[in-house]
Amino acid sequence: DEPWRCFFGYRLYPTVTAPLFVFQWLFDEAQMTADNVGAPMTKQQWDYVHKMGDSLRNSFKNITSVFAPSCISHSVLTKRDWRLLKVDEVSLPQALRCWELNTRRAHRLPHKNRRGVKKKNGKMSKSHQNSTVTNEDHHKKKKRKNGGNMRRKKRRRNMHKNRNKQDCRHRLVERCSWPQCNHSC
């Protein structure tokens, strides 16, 4: 009976099943204008602005991937310098890339090797484990031949994976409660 309510993210988010990356200014310029609050001058206006930021910050509690800088603004991608925007030294493009890579990893299908045999956790699936002795002999021979290189490659791959996990943050919500305290605004 009130379809306009579906335009509000906090109402819509619980029904979304696809991976979602939320971008939201903590101080929405259009909302402030609609509420007749321009550049804050009086104590009442400042109280309103702080309450607005706190309210938005609280609405992000159940959101897994969010980028919310403490700035007064309304649009982002139409601005020329959107790539420079940061929260805790992480730029918006970095956060988007991190989210994209992790979303891809999380939804990846089971891996198949060159022979078309499915692997689970890096091991042959049970239906193919006892295939032939020659397969096992071939694997041992290959391991002896390339053992050093393979171990080195595996270490590099694991180091790269771990570094990405440590550097990758999906919840970037500015802690500052003052508008424009983020110098990248």
175: pLDDT strictly greater than 50: yes
5-41 pLDDT, tens digit per residue, is 888 877 888 888 899 999 999 988 888 888 887 777 8
Residue 100's pLDDT is 92
pTM here?
0.64
154 — pLDDT class (breaks 50, 70, 90): low
Per-residue pLDDT tens for 122-135? 544 444 444 444 55
Rounded mean pLDDT of the chain? 76
pLDDT digits (tens, 9 = 90+) for 81-122: 899 999 999 999 999 999 999 888 776 645 444 344 444 555
Per-residue pLDDT, 155: 59
Q: Which residues pair with 123 in a beta bridge?
A: 120
Reference 70, options 90, 84, 47, 54; nearest CA is 54
The answer for 89, left when phi > 0, alpha when psi is -120 to 50, beta otherwise, is left
> What is the C-alpha to C-alpha distance for residues 84 and 78, in angstroms, rounded to an integer?
13
Residues 130 and 123: beta-carbon distance below 8 Å: no
CA distances from 37 to 7, 49, 50, 52, 116 (A): 22, 8, 12, 11, 63
How many residues would you count in the chain? 185
Residue ranges per structural domain of the chain: 3-106, 137-168
For residue 88, what pLDDT is reported? 93
pLDDT for position 146 = 58
Find the mean pLDDT for residues 48-74.
89
